[in-house]
């Protein structure tokens, strides 16, 4: 199993559609006994939260966010935790909105320390 996510700060490697997370968004992860949660903000996201579980290298969580235009949205995501050659963590994500149309994939990586 890859290292713990607790205390790590991750960021998307590419921008998603307007009004969603992007390269300026920062996720601060927490992990304890198979539970994960994170706060995130930046770019078009004023404040976001995710909460879920981790089994091995698989994360399963729901997310909700407040955007700069005042809109809110939420969805479900399943991620695979990958340890990069330099020791940083990457999450390969498959997500789907539950509050609106849309789904896709994304990659977030631990920021270099």
Q: What is the mean pLDDT of residues 16-36?
A: 87
Q: What is the pLDDT of residue 98?
A: 97
Distances (CA, A) of 66 to 2, 11, 36, 107: 30, 18, 20, 21
Q: What is the pLDDT of residue 113?
A: 78
Q: Structural domain boundaries of the chain? A: 9-110
Residue 85 to residue 4: CA distance in whole angstroms: 16
Q: Determine the topology of domain 9-110 in CATH.
A: Lipocalin (2.40.128)
Distances (CA, A) of 75 to 2, 11, 83: 25, 18, 25
């Amino acid at each position: 199993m890859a290292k713990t996510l607790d205390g790590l700060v991750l960021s998307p490697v590419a921008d998603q559609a307007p009004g969603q997370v992007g390269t300026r968004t920062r996720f601060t992860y927490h992990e304890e006994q198979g539970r994960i949660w994170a706060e995130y903000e930046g770019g078009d996201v004023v404040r976001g939260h995710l909460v879920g579980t981790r089994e091995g290298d698989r994360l399963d969580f729901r997310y909700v966010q407040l955007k700069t235009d005042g809109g809110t949205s939420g969805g479900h995501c399943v991620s695979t935790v990958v340890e990069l050659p330099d020791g940083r963590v990457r999450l390969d994500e498959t997500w789907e909105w539950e509050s609106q149309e849309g789904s896709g994939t994304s990659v977030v990586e631990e920021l270099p320390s």
